[in-house]
Amino acid sequence: MNFDIKTFLKKYSFYAYSSAFLIVWLGFFDGANLITQFKLWQKLDDLEEQIEYYDDELDKLKIQEKNVLSNLDALETYGREKYLMKKEGETVFVIVDEDGKLMEEVE
């Protein structure tokens, strides 16, 4: 059984050309073409990475919240450092580095 492409195209030329046209149209000219689909897949990957990042940051913040709320001294320190709260008649100095991050005490 020999398969000859020329006889196939003669016999089924309408179907072959219609299928080829449909594949080219859907691949490049349609609104949901392959290029658009590829860009959407990349954007989906980026958004999934952002979800993972924010989930990790949320876990860190929950741990920090638990630590701060469990200790009154830590709560007072947190309020003084983050929100510049102070007692009456008192001055608070917050030392930051060039990047705007708080300088931790050197031990």
Tens-place pLDDT, residues 57-68:
999 999 988 988
pLDDT digits (tens, 9 = 90+) for 74-101: 888 888 777 877 878 877 677 777 777 7
Examine the pLDDT at 106 and tell me if it is beyond 60: no
Q: Are 8 and 2 in contact (CB under 8 A)?
A: no
In this prediction, residue 1 carries a pLDDT of 60
Cα–Cα distance for residue pair 42/19, rounded to 1 Å: 29
The DSSP symbol for 105 reads P
Q: What is the pLDDT of residues 20-50, one digit of tens each?
A: 999 898 888 888 888 888 999 999 999 999 9
CA atoms within 13 A on the CB side of 55: 6
pLDDT of residue 107: 33
